[in-house]
Amino acid sequence: MHIPDGYLSPATCAVTYAAALPFWIVAMRRLRDRLHTRTTPLLAAVAAFSFVIMMFNLPLPGGTTGHAVGMAVAAILLGPWAAMLAISIALFIQALFFGDGGLTTFGANCLNMAIVGSLVAHFVYRVAAAGATLDARRRVFAAALAGYVSINVAALFAAVEFGVQPLWFHADDGTPLYAPYPLAIAVPAMMIGHLGIAGIAEAVIAGGLVAYLQKSDPALLAATAGNARYGWLSTRRLWALLGVFMIASPLGLIAAGTAWGEWGADDFADAAVRSEIALASGNVQPPPAVPNGLARLASLWSAPIPDYAPPFLHSAAFGYIASALIGCGLVILASLLLARLPKRPGGLS
């Protein structure tokens, strides 16, 4: 679901940045004072959790892969506004350092996953869990439902963004300039896998985490009430769980294939990959050559650790664990820098 550079036109990227900006501004205004309290560790823990969860690739129909995002987890533990910031931080670190998602498409990826996903998860959870006590089983169901619905709505937004590109942005002869497949192909290609597999994974993670916290630390499930404060020590159970996921992160290497719509520019010239692209796209062949706009934008930024494979490590498994550690460290640093922004006059002390 991470849209790479080149798959969306500059105009689409500008529109999605413009759509995301007001939500980022409101989120910062709402959270600026709380970030100077002990809420920062919880924000960092959730952002790091989202980062690591997205490293676990799952096999999807058509030979592609997908992943959970942690949108419901973020919305439940932080509320929708802080969840937007937490997932945006994770997405930014992934794009800048690991080449997972693009910088020109960062606005679109945040709009889909951090903003729309968090809002949908928040409202579904609130409605489904209304009136339930913190230890009620219904909260586990509500969390699972919120995860399933939110990731599928986010996937639908991404599919539409992919699908309108050849309709609106093409050469005079009709050749697509950016993402090559129309809505009739993009929507089914994205949604079948998310409705069937990735959505279930998101549901299991959200429901499982709520069930875990109900037994180990139910107070965290009330973190969205008022200005709850959670220090590094009080979030230790989340960090311990995150450590387990880091160690297990090489499991994300088992799923073969590339996520739909995340092929590299060079893949369009590779006969084997072209066959995989066609298979995942309703047996419709991709353009004979890489779209011009895609080729131009795809080379704008080269991530220092592409594909979570540090160049100084020759083991893919250790490289994945190292990337998880590096990424989480960068997420924590970004969260701490965010907390150092000036408070509003008259804010919390």
CA 267 from centre of chain: 23
H-run or E-run covering 66: strand 64-66
Let me know if residue 221 belongs to a domain: yes
H-run or E-run covering 60: strand 58-60
Let me know if residue 39 belongs to a domain: yes
Let me know if residue 140 belongs to a domain: yes
pLDDT along the chain (349 residues), means of 10: 96 98 93 67 92 94 92 94 96 97 98 98 96 93 98 98 97 95 97 96 96 88 57 77 90 89 94 94 94 95 95 92 96 87 56
Q: Is residue 181 within 8 Å of residue 160, measured between CB atoms?
A: no
For the chain, how many residues are written? Answer: 349
Q: How many domains does the chain have?
A: 1
What is residue 172's predicted lDDT score, i.e. its pLDDT? 92
- CATH number for 50: 1.10.1760.20
Rounded distance between C-alpha atoms, residue 180 and residue 166, angstroms: 6
Rounded distance between C-alpha atoms, residue 213 and residue 139, angstroms: 11
Question: Which residue segment(s) compose the domain that 256 sits in?
Answer: 10-339
Let me know if residue 153 belongs to a domain: yes
What is residue 348's predicted lDDT score, i.e. its pLDDT? 42
Let me know if residue 344 belongs to a domain: no
Rounded distance between C-alpha atoms, residue 264 and residue 74, angstroms: 30
Let me know if residue 164 belongs to a domain: yes
What is residue 48's predicted lDDT score, i.e. its pLDDT? 95
- Would you say the pTM of this structure is higher than 0.75? yes
Q: What is residue 15's three-state secondary structure?
A: helix
What is residue 227's predicted lDDT score, i.e. its pLDDT? 45
Let me know if residue 345 belongs to a domain: no
| Structure token pair of residue 312 | 């100084």
What is residue 32's predicted lDDT score, i.e. its pLDDT? 75
Let me know if residue 95 belongs to a domain: yes
